[in-house]
Structure 1
Amino acid sequence: MGAFLILTGVVGLLSSFALTIDKLRLLANPDAVLACDLNPFFSCGSVMAYPQSEIFGFPNQLIGVVAFVVPIVLGVLLLTRVDIPRWVMNGLSVGLLGGIVLVTFLQYTSIFTIGVGCPWCMIVWVVTIMQFCVVVAANVLRGTFGRTAQDSTVLRVLASMPLLIAGVWLLIIATTMVTQFWTYFGSLI
């Protein structure tokens, strides 16, 4: 778990940081072409031009720069065998649930409202979904959510396959994107 949290946290942090640097480039030069501006359907710069990229009045990517530090720190603590209190792991689950709500809103907005995918954002989506599934599953299996959750056969079965659940979840998102952006994907065939 510790290594997983560190690895995914670093990937999420680097992606959020790259988005932050790109946002600063756009603020300095609104005509800048970013490295992640791949084509009309996959472009970080295009997505950043919409108000949804600043839901709370500041760039969304700053949330990731701050939030991904938490799993990295907890991952380091877990690797060094520090006994993490239940409430901290429950707090991580709640924080990741908040991340999932935000990511889901941003996915919907990106795919259906804006009609453009942001490559760095998609990496953050993947990392957040994987972290959520793995952390919640581990908390169920370890009894962090309490005895009732740990004793539930259904929850134990679901918790035994967090990466499969994350994979199916991501496949649904990818299928939705291919369907919505068929003009682009159809041209590749």
Structure 2
Amino acid sequence: MNTAPAPAEETFDDDFATGTPIRSWVLRPTALGIFLIVGSVVGFLAAFALSVEKYWKLENPDVSLSCDLNPFFSCGSVMEYPQSQLFGFPNQLLGVAAFIFPLLLGVLLVAKARIPGWVMVGLNIGLALGVTLVMFLFYTSIYVIGVGCPWCMVVWAMTIPMFCAVTAHNALAGNFGSGIRDNAVVRVLARENIAISVVWLLIIAFCIVIQFWNFFSTLF
């Protein structure tokens, strides 16, 4: 019987300038896989809940939805605008479908399956499109419609960190090419993917607070 120990999980990437190892959680398959699973499940549940409430709204236009918190934050109000159906069907259906792929890859990573680099790049492209849509909907919801959608914000809060983490993984793993992998600026930014995600989300939160200051000022 073969008793040789299983190969250790890859946890480091060599610094191109100093040759010293760089600790990066996005290069750990298990850590990245768990992150993708958690983000995908939370995002999927938020998109699914929004889909269910969309159909409730269609059946009974006067119904008060669970995410109709006040005049400033109301999913039901946002659903009444054409921006909620950019492609001719409810946007939330995109979220329900889009979170399946990263969830599947997350499970495979945790199971220590070998994921080809091109598959991770494909995930990155999908998340990039998702982030582009998220930022468009953020601007439209907050600055054009003037009402925030709570469940949508949960989807935003999952999509952005997942995009940053997968981009960092692909950059450090060389899936974008050795030129990008060996770029000092790229490597520093990739290692700070969590900080970038936090700052990104804080900027969105700041914009929301400023735009809806009439509401938030009443909380103090």
Q: TM-score interval w.r.t. the shorter chain?
A: over 0.9
Q: Report the equivalent of 1:78.
A: 109
SS at match of 1:39: coil
Q: Report the equivalent of 2:191.
A: 160
Q: 1:1-189, aligned counterparts within 5 Å?
A: 1-189=32-220
Q: Deviations over 1:76-133 (max 9, x none)?
A: 0001111111111000010001001100000000110011111100000010101000
What is the CA distance between 1:165 and its match in structure 2?
A: 0.1
- Give % identity: 59
Larger % of helix: which? 1
What is the CA distance between 1:188 and its match in structure 2?
A: 1.1
TM-score scaled by length of structure 2:
0.85
The structure with the larger Rg is 2
Question: For the aligned residues, what is the CA RMSD?
Answer: 0.5
SS at match of 1:37: coil
User: What stretches of structure 1 move > 2 A for 4+ residues in a row?
Assistant: none
Write the distance in 2 (CA, Å) between the matches of 1:62 and 1:29: 20
Write the distance in 1 (CA, Å) between the matches of 2:194 and 2:72: 28
Write the distance in 2 (CA, Å) between the matches of 1:44 and 1:161: 33
What is the CA distance between 1:187 and its match in structure 2?
A: 1.2
What is the CA distance between 1:18 and its match in structure 2?
A: 0.2
TM-score scaled by length of structure 1:
0.99
Unaligned residue ranges in structure 2 (runs of 5+): 1-31
